[in-house]
Amino acid sequence: MLTPDDNALQAVRRRHELRVLNSVVAHGNRTRRELEGDTKLSRTTLSAIVGELRQRGVLSEESQEHYAAGRNGRPTKVLTLNPQAGAAVGVELGRRRISVTVLGFDGRPVHREHHGTGGADSLDAKIQQSATLLQSLIAAGKINPHTVIGMGVGVATRHANPASLADGDERQSDPEGVTLDPLRTVLQAPVLWDNNIRLAAMAYGKRSGELLYVVLSAGVSSAIVSNGTLQRGSHGIAGELGHLSVDYAGPLCWCGRHGCLEVFLNEANVLVEAAHRGQAFASIADLAAASAAGNGIASNIVDWAGELLARAVLNACVLLDPRRVVIAGELSQFGEPLLHPLRKALAGQRLGLGQRDIDITTASYSPTTGSDGAAQMALKHWTFPGGM
Ligand SMILES: [Zn+2]
């Protein structure tokens, strides 16, 4: 167990380390002399930190003939980032799959993989399963535990309480009823977790300024990313677009309000709505295919869904003025026709939202989006909070 003194020392060392890494990431490579100038660290401190980073396999030092020779005529040695050194690990414990993403210090993916969970596994079982997976990745050399400085975990459960989120190395409280200790043990790195859908948004929000990310599947989930940072609000529910009412006279939602977007645009209800209109579809994929093929009932359903979505998203756009809106989840298979009413609504208002470029797209499917975003959050949190 670390004492507060150990923690304080570690925090100082980590800050120094990050100054060195920040400089190497920003410039691609750096001589020791340049690092001294960039980091303002003493030669002794710098030497100790560079030595440790080399030992851990984060940095390597090479003679580079094409760089200017030093004063003594020998080639200058430069420090570069090991492109295979993982800085942050992201894990998504989804309903149907577990995925892992390893990102390097420069934010590039070093490794990705995903596996099915085999059905109705408990969260505890998934945590154990992912710890075993990480162990095997370490054994296979895909993850070097000495270079990883933090882990992000996306969990298919309620959002994390923002009051419990870590700053620096403080420990965040675990999701209700489970412990993330098996993951902490396997990597010996600090862990941050949040709702998996919310973390998936981080995979899109990296460089897009204000982003609104909406997932339409079994329910409606959404997240706001502002300048690369996930917005959680005061109680952890910021961006819950699913509970904006799109019809005050509509059916009662479990949240206590009437006509919430989620009451209408959950997968099951969309299929029920199609059946009411005269045609049963086995799945959203079937419905999307029928709509694309010109089936009248299916096309009407897509229009209906698009109108409801537009009501909620337009309200959110007025509030957030986003640069980008990404629609993901099963219903995003409806494609462009689902987005049409939103584009029209944005063009029709006179607040200036429509005139600006709001990039509205459906998400391209990737099984590792959740872990990509989780790793992105960890990288942001533990490495370069000021941006890279
Ligand atoms: Zn509701």
The CATH number for 242's domain is 3.30.420.40
Residues 358 and 253 in one domain: yes
Going from the Cα of 332 to the center of ligand 1, the distance in angstroms, rounded, reads 21
CA 185 / ligand 1 centre spacing (Å):
38
Per-residue pLDDT at 188: 83
Ligand 1 centre to CA of 356 (Å) is 30
Shared domain for 109 and 223, answered yes or no, is no
Q: Are residues 179 and 292 in the same domain?
A: no
Q: Assess if residue 388 is contained within a domain.
A: no
List the pLDDT tens digit at each of the 388 positions of the chain: 445 556 677 778 888 888 898 888 888 889 999 999 999 999 999 999 999 999 988 899 888 755 555 556 667 889 998 888 888 999 999 888 899 999 998 889 999 999 988 766 788 999 999 999 999 999 999 998 888 988 999 998 777 766 666 544 556 778 878 899 999 899 888 888 888 888 888 888 766 678 999 999 888 999 999 887 888 888 777 888 999 999 999 999 999 999 999 999 999 999 999 999 999 999 999 999 999 999 999 999 999 999 999 999 999 998 888 989 999 999 999 999 999 999 999 888 877 776 567 889 998 778 899 999 999 988 888 776 544 3
Ligand 1 centre and the CA of 308: distance in Å?
14
Among 39, 44, 33, 43, CA closest to 16: 39
CA of 244 to the centre of ligand 1 (A): 7
Beta strands 191-195 and 150-155 are parallel
CATH number reported for the structural domain that contains residue 50 in this entry: 1.10.10.10
Q: Is residue 387 included in any domain, yes or no?
A: no
* Residue 158 belongs to a domain: yes
In the chain, the DSSP E strands lie at 29-30, 59-63, 77-81, 86-93, 97-104, 109-116, 150-155, 191-195, 211-216, 220-226, 229-230, 324-328, 359-362
Q: How far is the CA of 38 from the centre of ligand 1 (A)?
A: 51
How many Å lie between the centroid of ligand 1 and the Cα of residue 319? 19
Q: How far are the Cα atoms of 115, 223, 291 from residue 341, in angstroms, in the given order?
A: 37, 21, 16
The verdict on 217 and 339 lying in the same domain is yes
β 150-155/86-93 pair status: parallel
Q: Is residue 20 part of a domain?
A: yes
For β-strands 97-104 and 109-116, DSSP reports them as antiparallel
Q: How far is the CA of 238 from the centre of ligand 1 (A)?
A: 14
CB-CB neighbours of 12 under 10 Å: 11
Q: How far apart are the CA of 317 and the centre of ligand 1, in A?
A: 19
- Give residue for tokens 């419990």: 164
Cα atoms in the Cβ-side hemisphere of radius 13 Å centred on 258: 5
The two beta strands, 211-216 and 324-328, are: parallel
Rounded Cα distance, 376 and 53, in Å = 21
Examine the domain organization and report whether 47 and 164 are in the same domain.
Answer: no
Task: Give the dihedral sign, CA 121/125/126/132.
Answer: negative
Q: What is the pLDDT of residue 168?
A: 47
Q: Indicate whether 231 and 348 sit together in one domain.
A: yes
Specify whether 109 is located in the same domain as 66: no
Q: How far is the CA of 77 from the centre of ligand 1 (A)?
A: 61
CB-CB contact of 338 with 306 (8 Å) = yes
200/311 same-domain check:
no
- In a domain, residue 43? The reply is yes
Q: Tokens 């509030």 label which residue? A: 319
**pLDDT on residue 388:** 38
CA of 265 from ligand 1 middle (Å) equals: 12
Say how many Å lie between the CA of residue 92 and the centre of ligand 1. Answer: 26
CA 229 – ligand 1 centroid, Å: 25
Sequence letter at residue 149? I
Q: Give the largest Cα separation in the chain, rounded.
A: 85
Ligand 1 mean position to 263 CA, how many Å?
A: 7
- If asked whether residues 119 and 147 sit together in one domain, one would say yes
Ligand 1: distance of its center to the CA of 160 in Å? 19
Q: Which of 241, 245, 213, 221 is nearest to 322 (CA)?
A: 213
Question: Do 128 and 259 fall within a single domain?
Answer: no
- Asked whether residue 273 falls in the same domain as residue 228, the answer is yes
3-class SS of residue 242: helix
C-alpha 25 – ligand 1 centre gap (Å): 44
Q: Is residue 186 part of a domain?
A: yes
Q: Which residue, 58, 81, 104, sits at the end of a domain?
A: 81
Quick one: 271 and 315 in the same domain?
Answer: yes
Cα of 243 vs centre of ligand 1, distance in Å, is: 4
State the distance from the centre of ligand 1 to the C-alpha of 240, rounded, in angstroms: 9
Place of tokens 């100038």: 37
- Cα 305 to ligand 1 centroid, rounded to whole Å: 17
Q: Tokens 């670390």 appear where?
A: 2
Closest CA to 262 of 207, 351, 329, 195: 329
**Ligand 1 centre from 112 Cα, in Å?**
35
Instruction: Indicate whether 292 belongs to any domain.
Output: yes
Rounded to the nearest angstrom, the distance between the alpha carbon of 262 and the centre of ligand 1 is 7
Domain boundary at 25, 49, 81, which?
81
Q: Which two tokens stand for residue 95?
A: 């309903």
Ligand 1 centroid–CA 62 distance in Å is: 59
Domain span at residue 62 reads: 4-81
CA of 157 to the centre of ligand 1 (A): 17
Strands 191-195 and 229-230 turn out to be: unpaired
Q: Is residue 276 part of a domain?
A: yes
Number of domains in the chain: 3
User: In angstroms, what is the span from residue 254 Cα to ligand 1's centroid?
Assistant: 6
Last residue in a domain, options 55, 81, 107 = 81
Query: What is the whole-number distance in angstroms between the Cα of residue 255 and the centre of ligand 1?
Result: 4
260 CA distance to ligand 1 middle (Å): 5
